[in-house]
Amino acid sequence: MKYIIKNRYTNKVIVEMEAESLREVVEKNKADLREADLRGADLRGANLREADLYEADLRGANLREADLRGANLRGADLRGADLCEAKIKITQKEELLKALGVIIEE
């Protein structure tokens, strides 16, 4: 099947490739997902270690059991995403909370 991932702001194609699943496309191109529109994507169990998800739109995505350790989540939108049992590094916790829309106060 042919998959196309576009920039969430410009609609420009970031990745276009044949694959068995969107998960496969994302895993193979994880270094190039800045500002990607991945709303509602099924990425269960995906290996997204060190992925560049800067300002990616992941609202409503299924990231259950995904490995996000070291992923760049700065500016990403994860509101409504399923992150049950997803893995992150301790140093990513504040970045993740912001991506989920949680307001962090001192």
Q: What is the extent of the structural domain holding 15? A: 1-106
Residue 106 pLDDT: 77
Q: Is the pTM of this model over 0.95?
A: no
Closest CA to 38 of 14, 57, 65: 57
Say how many domains are in the chain.
1
Low-confidence ranges of the chain (pLDDT < 50): none
Q: Which residues contact 88 (CB under 8 A, 6 or more apart)?
A: 68, 69, 71, 96
Closest CA to 83 of 70, 96, 98: 96
Closest CA to 77 of 51, 50, 95, 90: 95
| Cα torsion through 104, 61, 8, 55, rounded to 10 | 30
Residue 71 pLDDT: 96
59/79 Cα distance (integer angstroms): 5
